[in-house]
Amino acid sequence: MSNTLMNDRVAFIGVGQAGGNIAVEFKNLGYTTFFINTSIEDLNTIKVDTRYKYHIPTAQGCNKDRDKAKQYTKDYYEIISSQIATKFGNITKLFFCFSMGGGTGSGISPLLINALSKKMQNVTFNAICIIPSDSESARIKFNAFNCYTELKAIPYLSNVYFIDNNSVINNDINIFPTAVNNLEFLNKQIAYRINDILSMCNPDTRGIIDTEEIEELLKVNGNVLLADIRNEDVVVDNIFPSTKKGCQFLAYSLTNDKDYLQDKVEELFGKPLDVYKGYNNNNSFVAIFGLPFPDKRIEDLVKSYENDIEKIDTIEDEEINIEISKLPDLTKRRKVRLEKAKQMNALLDEL
């Protein structure tokens, strides 16, 4: 679906190389974008006006070092926040795009979202974050776990769209003939699916979910999934990791009323507080808002990390004995997040 009403309200910020590549796909769909990177080489691959790029001064990349990226965030927070506030003065929804496993996006994004969401309380902050595949390195998996833990501690983070890089092995790249590889396919898929949500307010005489309702849905705290409705079945898009039941809201965009499969949707995602319904002429789908975070997927990633560490026998034990604690239960949602936010204050107070 082509979005016609939300372009002036929504913007996307790509942090790091992977995040920048995702944000480019939203730029191609007509949205305002901004790009932040520690690597000038990566930033130069993004073909946008230099006004919409920010290179951390003197930085030459982070080499998957999240601590280095966090320090850059502290050192240049005032400049970064000023640029964002200036360029997105009329924007009410900001989506941060980043990989959880790298250095730049994984290190900068949680700190920046946490600090800005406290300062710019009239703006809703959302995240689109990539979970690394099981085939990636132990260090990337370790970064992803720590990034995930920090994201769960941010009290004013709204929608979070977790994207599973494991899904690229199942993608039919022919759906997007312009994609040159599976990762580019995935980036396009992410942009098109989230654009589907933002386009639910497009005019249709049978009914719409209006812009104020979309804005309210984008404020909902928690994980978001999309599921297509095909042949009287509900099919969760494979780019999203599975999660527990416990949704807050459902938003349908239907081509016909027979695709309103509320019983089947509730079997998968639980009973919502409210249901919204609109129509389109392309495909029927339902967006599920306010789900628990995908702890099981991260637990599996941790197990994969631990298996990798066991196989590494060329390094002394004390150099690789990195302890990962048990994942906390976050089903209590924002109350728990407010408590956990205290753990980040020491780090964030400097911003």
The 10 Å Cβ neighbour count of residue 23 is 31
Q: Is the pLDDT of residue 330 over 80?
A: no
Residue 197: name the closest of 262, 289, 120 by CA: 289
* Angle, helices 66-87/104-119, rounded to nearest 10 degrees: 40
**pLDDT tens digits along 220-270:** 999 999 999 999 999 998 899 989 999 999 999 999 999 999 999 999 999
Q: Which residues pair with 128 in a beta bridge?
A: 97, 161
Question: Which residues are paired to 225 by β-bridges?
Answer: 288
pLDDT the model gives residue 340? 56
Structure-model confidence comparison of residues 338 and 143, the more confident one: 143
> In which band, very low, low, confident or very high, does the pLDDT at 90 lie, cut at 50, 70 and 90?
confident
Mean pLDDT computed over 302-320: 73
Helix, strand, or coil here: 180? coil
pLDDT band at 8 (very low <50, low <70, confident <90, very high): confident
pLDDT digits (tens, 9 = 90+) for 145-154: 999 999 999 9
Tell me the pLDDT band of 344, cut-offs 50, 70 and 90. low
Residue 55 CA neighbour count, 13 Å, CB half: 14
In 3-state terms, what secondary structure has residue 136?
coil
**Residue of 304, 288, 315, 244 whose CA lies nearest to 101:** 304
State mean pLDDT over 305-318: 72
72: confidence class by pLDDT, cuts 50, 70, 90:
very high
| Mean pLDDT for the stretch of residues 207-219 | 90
Query: What's the average model confidence in pLDDT over 319-323?
Result: 53
Cβ-based burial of 318 (10 A; exposed 0-12, middle 13-18, buried ≥19): exposed
CB 277 within 8 A of CB 254: yes
